[in-house]
Structure 1
């Protein structure tokens, strides 16, 4: 009971004092309080005692830590996730629980970019054989998931694609000149695509002369249906398909559903992935504004 109560005890944050003439003293105080709370968040948890895992408090504490304490940044989250995993090594079952929780938490997160933390943790623990509970099947599945995610993580250069359009003309992604490239994977018989692709085109019509291009990849092989949809909706952007199945785009971009949309910057770096059509305009506006400030 004492250990459980200790887990529930908030971090005792000391009072930070600065000279009266310190610039932005209140902001500095809040920063010091935040850092202290984060750095000492796990002080009251005895990671050597796996009996704590029979309560709901460890899961609650992990959830609160990653949702509310750590800055929503892949580097910060990776650092803190590794820190708590290392602390949990004091007990094999605690270590198992924390590694399983954190890898699953970031793999299934709906927040864009969190898959990088999953990849980092999987490579550090599962793929280096530190997970005693993981059999060959688990390791194979995690390895396959890491392999599919690594090429398309935010911040990576987008894998190049060279594909034909409806007239048999070749287009290569790396040679497209634009400030932003919207890379859309879709197919005309997908119910969601039927709604979203026309919406994407309506947006494209308003920005096509402002450095934004669309590289739209047809993911199937029913050529007549594809061409018909293009004609009916006047999709006069770059329409391409992998006629000979040479590009391996499904694995390179982790395409398991459609539509799947990525946004690339002028250097072909992935800056957004699996983004909804309705979010694209605000995302690009925000990114442009930030780049203007630099």
Structure 2
């Protein structure tokens, strides 16, 4: 019931934390008392750390390591005591959020890998147990950001569907907790995280956030212009998300007398490429593509290469000079909406499709075509998986 808006501090001219006194706020007194305690421990620890750097005595190093670990544990215990004794105060909630969740032991009947997975899943599911999802103030401290960053970097696997499940689970948990500021901060953090992610197909969780949070009005703080932008971008992404059937194309070949429909390709894997004869990167990548195709099993993989510009004579000449033997088609006569469907802004763009023409890999380098194609062939049981080589004992 203390009026937390009326308090003051006293200190000396050296601004020494050990001489700081607070009046009018018991919560701030708790904070400064703990800070003094931790600071005193830190000064002692600093001496031990300096000794550890200078000594060559391994036994003494082990002893110092244990002392430092014990001192760190003492500070954690002190912090936990405050969180337990004062759960109604912000400092109690803050210090509880700083506590590490320790994994439980896995069942004894599990193997080593299964036990590791069990503990990983348990930690992932209980990671937020010590965080009060109703406390807005946590976002104003470094603690919430640190926990969120660690969670994404250490518990988020490079699997887009799992990323979506984890995103929804966390947002639902915060929504139930009731902190609007946590909800806003987390959604904005996740949007930025997926926009910057280098993982394959992580535009899928990005599309999910745009479509299911911004377009649905759950990002209530966003103005109409930003919401419209997000929805527009989500619409552009939708046709080429991983596990979506690639938009079909029916384009003329170099003869301009017949068209080739991509969906009629019958090989188990199709490599789709968008390229341009004047694109500098294409000039480096396309010979690698051609070299791969010349050595590939044509019953297992076909390449559907789409020329995106309009220099038809230059295109035909390049194909002839480079001896590109795969399927070559061009976006002639304006009969195909490939730019809209595939949102082509740069070239080359390389997609790898399975037997159902679902997008499995996208925007890869030419050198990675072989490994991704083989992965899909192995997945379909067409070729045997290569056993990892192990050294003989």
Determine if the TM-score, normalized by the shorter chain, exceeds 0.5. yes
The equivalent of 2:41 in structure 1 is: none
1:105 aligns with 2:193: yes
Are 2:102 and 1:12 equivalent residues in the alignment?
yes
Contact 2:248 2:261 in 1 (8 A): yes
**Residues 177-200 of structure 1: CA deviation (Å, up to 9, x unaligned):** 212111000101111111001111
Whole-angstrom distance in 2 between the partners of 1:202 and 1:25:
45
Say if 1:68 and 1:240 are closer, same or farther in 2 by CA, change over 3 A. Answer: same
Alignment match, 1:150: 238
Partners of 1:119 and 1:251 in 2: CA distance: 17
In the alignment, structure 1 residue 39 sits paired with structure 2 residue 125: yes
For residue 3 of structure 1, report the CA deviation from its aligned partner.
Answer: 3.8
Question: 1:200-219 counterparts in 2 under 5 A?
Answer: 200-219=289-308
Report if the CA contact (8 A) 1:166-1:240 is conserved.
Answer: yes
Larger RCO of the pair (alpha carbons < 8 Å, separation 6+): 1
**Change in CA separation of 1:62 and 1:12 when aligned onto 2, cut-off 3 Å:** same
Corresponding position of 2:275: 186
Equivalent residues in 2 for 1:73-112, closer than 5 Å:
73-89=159-175, 90-112=178-200
Cα shift readout 1:111-170 (whole Å, capped 9, x = no counterpart) = 111111112222221111111111111111111111111111111111110111121121
Q: For 1:69-100, what per-residue CA distance to the aligned partner results, in whole angstroms no more than 9, with x for missing partners?
A: 13332222211111111233322222111111
Over alpha carbons, which structure has the higher Rg?
2
Partner secondary structure for residue 137 of structure 1:
helix
The alpha-carbon deviation at position 65 of structure 1 amounts to 1.9
Structure 1 pair 131/201, CA: closer, same or farther in 2 (3 Å)?
Answer: same
Using the TM superposition, give the Cα deviation of residue 210 of structure 1 relative to its aligned residue in structure 2, in angstroms: 4.2
In the alignment, is residue 245 of structure 1 matched against residue 334 of structure 2?
yes
**2:160 corresponds to 1:71:** no
For 1:34-55, what per-residue CA distance to the aligned partner results, in whole angstroms no more than 9, with x for missing partners? 1210111111222333333234
Matched, 1:131 2:223: no
Closer/same/farther in 2, CA of residues 252 and 60 from structure 1, 3 Å limit: farther
Partner SS state of residue 149, structure 1: helix
Q: Following the alignment from structure 2 to structure 1, what is the Cα–Cα distance between the partners of residues 212 and 316?
A: 46
TM-score by length of 1: 0.91
SS at match of 1:163: strand
TM-score, normalisation: structure 2: 0.69
CA drift of 1:208 comes to 4.6
Computed over aligned residues only, the root mean square deviation of the Cα atoms, in angstroms, reads 2.0
Q: Indicate yes or no: 2:315 matched with 1:229.
A: no
Aligned residue pairs, count:
290
Aligned equivalents of 1:56, 1:225: Cα separation in 2:
58
Instruction: Provide structure 2 residue ranges, at least 5 long, that are not aligned to the other structure.
Output: 1-90, 386-393
CA, structure 1 residues 66+177, in 2 after alignment: closer, same or farther (shift >3 Å)?
same
Tell me if the contact between 1:198 and 1:233 (Cα under 8 Å) persists in the aligned partners. Answer: yes
Aligned residue in 2 for 1:53: 139
Between the aligned partners of 1:118 and 1:227, the Cα distance in structure 2 is 39
1:25–1:236 CA distance, 2 compared to 1 (3 A):
closer
